[in-house]
């Protein structure tokens, strides 16, 4: 009897972190991946690469409006009809320009929606499918920026802070069950989204390094994964700095 394929859904599959996670899952063996993106051509390109890398893998592509609650609910319900989903990775987002968000409320609203509300909508939709199946692992990509609001990126940080609080609530909801919720908090990572930071000399982790930590965290159902691990200590210090000290810092 053949081993059933592990069903994995990746939201925001064209992101560098998500793509490297997919490569690791394909390399591990038989998997049925569904890549969800906004741009079909880009998502199909990622799928084609994965099919070459893993002969045992099944790779499908779906597109959806990432800010349409009804479309998200329909997608999640549809993907669950063919059997229980083992793992969902929600990895999409964008790094907004903080001054632009301050000047333009449309830009501010978009940043909050794409980085905060949209991941929560996807998570809630798939949480319903996991609840019905009685099992599953949900991985949400947050950010160290959500640990404390800072002048340099507080709109983005607020969105990721929403993801953090949501993940905590979802973990509480499913405590004691076979459903695991993993919150990943990457530090600055070398992706197209952060190219301007790299030009400024910011030291960054590689997407491959972060992907390994995500895949390991998902496999073990870790509640929180800082990527790289050093950010757990760094952000603990930043969270606990007194305001009189923190407000003098240009970060």
Per-residue pLDDT reduced to its tens digit, 38-71: 999 999 999 999 999 988 889 999 999 999 999 9
**So what's the pLDDT on residue 1?**
39
For the stretch 154-186, pLDDT in tens is: 999 999 999 999 999 999 999 999 999 999 999
Residues 6+ positions from 24 with CB-CB distance below 8 Å: 211, 212, 215
Assign 34 to helix, strand or coil: strand
pLDDT of 30 reads 78
Cross-strand pairs, 88: 9, 138
Can you give the pLDDT at residue 199?
Answer: 63
CA angle 66, 207, 237 (to 5 degrees): 95
Q: Residue 2: its pLDDT value, please?
A: 47
Q: Are 111 and 96 in contact (CB under 8 A)?
A: yes
Which residue is associated with the tokens 């870790």? 222
Alpha helix locations (H) across 151-201? Answer: 154-173, 195-199
Contact 228, 210 (CB under 8 A): yes
Q: Do the Cβ atoms of 86 and 7 come closer than 8 Å?
A: yes
What is the enclosing helix (H) or strand (E) of 137? strand 136-141
- Quote the pLDDT of residue 5: 74
**Inter-axis angle of helices 40-53 and 16-28, to 10 degrees?**
30
Domains of the chain (ranges, CATH numbers): 6-246 (3.40.50.720)
List the pLDDT tens digit at each of the 251 positions of the chain: 345 679 999 999 999 999 999 999 999 987 999 999 999 999 999 999 999 998 888 999 999 999 999 999 999 999 999 899 999 999 999 999 999 999 999 999 999 999 999 999 999 999 999 999 999 999 999 999 999 999 999 999 999 999 999 999 999 999 999 999 999 999 998 876 676 666 666 778 999 999 999 999 999 999 999 999 999 999 999 999 999 999 999 99
CA-to-CA separations, 148 to 34, 83, 180, in angstroms, rounded:
34, 40, 25
SS3 2: coil
How buried is residue 236: exposed, middle or buried, by Cβ count under 10 Å (0-12/13-18/19+)?
exposed
Q: Considering only CA atoms, which of 91, 88, 86, 175 is closest in space to residue 124?
A: 88
CB burial of 151-177 (b: ≥16 within 10 Å; e: otherwise) equals eebbbbbbbbbbbbebbeebbeebeee
Asked whether 18 and 189 are in contact (CB, 8 A), the reply is: no
Can you tell me the distance from the alpha carbon of 210 to that of 225, in angstroms, rounded to the nearest whole number? 10
Give me the pLDDT at residue 79, please.
97
- Please answer whether residues 12 and 39 qualify as being in contact, where contact means their C-beta atoms are separated by less than 8 angstroms: no
- Which residues participate in catalysis according to the annotation? 156
């Amino acid at each position: 009897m053949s081993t059933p394929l592990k069903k994995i859904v990746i939201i925001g599959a064209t992101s560098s972190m998500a793509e490297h996670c997919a490569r690791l899952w394909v390399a591990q063996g038989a998997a049925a991946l569904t890549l969800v993106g906004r741009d079909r051509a880009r998502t199909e390109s990622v799928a084609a690469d994965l099919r070459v890398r893993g002969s045992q893998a099944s790779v499908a592509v779906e597109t959806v409006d990432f800010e349409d609650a009804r479309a998200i609910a329909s997608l999640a319900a549809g993907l669950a009809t063919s059997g229980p989903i083992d793992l969902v990775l929600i990895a999409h987002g964008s790094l907004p320009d903080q001054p632009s968000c301050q000047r333009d409320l449309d830009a501010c609203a978009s940043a909050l929606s794409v980085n905060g509300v949209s991941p929560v909508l996807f998570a809630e939709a798939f949480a319903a499918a996991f609840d019905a199946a009685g099992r599953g692992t949900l991985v949400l990509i947050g950010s160290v920026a959500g640990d404390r609001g800072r002048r340099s990126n507080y709109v983005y940080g607020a969105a990721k802070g929403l993801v953090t609080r949501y993940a905590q609530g979802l973990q509480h909801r499913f405590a004691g069950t076979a459903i695991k919720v993993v919150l990943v908090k990457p530090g600055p990572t070398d992706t197209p989204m952060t190219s301007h930071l790299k030009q400024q000399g910011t030291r960054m982790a590689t997407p491959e390094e972060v992907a390994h930590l995500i895949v390991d965290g998902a496999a073990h159902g870790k509640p929180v994964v800082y990527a790289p691990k050093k950010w757990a200590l760094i952000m603990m210090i930043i969270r606990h700095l007194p305001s009189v000290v923190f407000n003098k810092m240009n970060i």
